[in-house]
Amino acid sequence: MNLLDLTLPSPAENLAADEALLDWCEAGDGEETLLFWEPRETFVVVGYANKVATEVNAAACEAKKIPIFRRCSGGGTVVQMPGGLNYSLILRITENGPTRNITSANQFIMEKNRAAIESAIHNLQTAVAICGHTDLALVTRHSPPVTSRKFAGNSQRRRKHFLLFHGTLLLKCDLALISELLFTPSQQPDYRARRSHSDFVTNLNLSAERVKAALAQEWNANAELKNPPQEEISRLAKEKYSSPEWNFKF
């Protein structure tokens, strides 16, 4: 699998890279790829079908001059900020393999990601669990009742031949910003149990390099991708991900 560690200058470019890589592979020009990027500034990203007014405290974002973007996949709204790590997997869809449909792809990818992160923690008192549909959470074993706190959300987008599966991991983030910038989500998994943002999310407290190494090893991503579709990334960033018509379409 190809490996691309590429943080681009703007949020729009980083969001565009996911779609550009997916389209590039779908067109037959690229192969399976694991991409990493790290936010250098704070911004909000809503899922494809999210309504900004429902999920985002737009007034707080405006007061702090924090921009709002929309990604090409579903799932919930996230705050991107320094201390976070994003990964994207572009995987081939096979008729009889684990990526054959949404459910099996979720199970296959999440289990590999869970195993990778747990191997990086090295803490016998803490396990990594798959919660909800595509969340990763830290589960403490030492004090009943067992508690699970989310550190990663993930989502999927599918074409005919390739899929995009990507997520955001909280490593060393300012978690208070989540409560400031986001409302309580309109849709919540059962395991959240109506907890506030502050009681629900947590940091992994691992370095980005350590997490990237664990994921790259799990996915056998060791071939450096040297020719990403930069022109298409730039075009999508300018024409789509920088456009209010896209970012505020719902």
* pLDDT digit string, tens, across residues 1-21: 999 999 999 999 999 999 999
User: Rounded to whole angstroms, how far apart are CA atoms 84 and 20?
Assistant: 22
Judged on CB neighbours under 10 Å (0-12, 13-18, 19+), 95 is exposed
- Flag the least confident range among 9-18, 54-63, 132-141: 132-141
Which CATH number covers residue 185? Answer: 3.30.930.10
- In this prediction, residue 124 carries a pLDDT of 65
Asked whether 21 and 35 are in contact (CB, 8 A), the reply is: yes
In a domain, 142, yes or no: no
- In this prediction, residue 140 carries a pLDDT of 80
Higher pLDDT, 118 or 140: 118
Which residues lie closer than 8 Å to 189 by C-beta, 6 or more apart?
131, 132, 133, 135
- In this prediction, residue 142 carries a pLDDT of 66
Q: 223 is in which domain, residue-wise?
A: 2-99+153-247
> Would you report the helix, strand and coil content of the chain in percent, each value rounded to 5?
35, 25, 40
In a domain, 29, yes or no: yes
User: Rounded to whole angstroms, how far apart are CA atoms 13 and 151?
Assistant: 24
Mean pLDDT of the chain: 94
- In this prediction, residue 145 carries a pLDDT of 60
Residue 84 has pLDDT above 70, yes or no: yes
Q: Count how many domains the chain has.
A: 1
In a domain, 122, yes or no: no
Q: Which helix (H) or strand (E) holds 77?
A: none
- In this prediction, residue 126 carries a pLDDT of 81
In a domain, 104, yes or no: no
- In this prediction, residue 144 carries a pLDDT of 59
Q: What is the pLDDT of residues 162-198, one digit of tens each?
A: 999 999 999 999 999 999 999 999 989 999 989 999 9
In a domain, 70, yes or no: yes
- Flag the least confident range among 34-38, 42-46, 78-82, 126-130: 126-130
In a domain, 143, yes or no: no
**Complete DSSP assignment for the chain:** -EEEE---SSHHHHHHHHHHHHHHHHTTS---EEEEE--SS-EEEE-TT--HHHHB-HHHHHHHT--EEE-SS-S--EEE-TTEEEEEEEEE--TTSTTSSHHHHHHHHHHHHHHHHHHHH--TTEEEEEETTTEEEEEE-SSSSPEEEEEEEEEEEE-SSEEEEEEEEESS--THHHHHHBPPPSS--GGGTT--HHHHB------HHHHHHHHHHHTT--EE-----HHHHHHHIIIIIT-HHHHT--
- Flag the least confident range among 105-109, 146-150, 205-209: 146-150
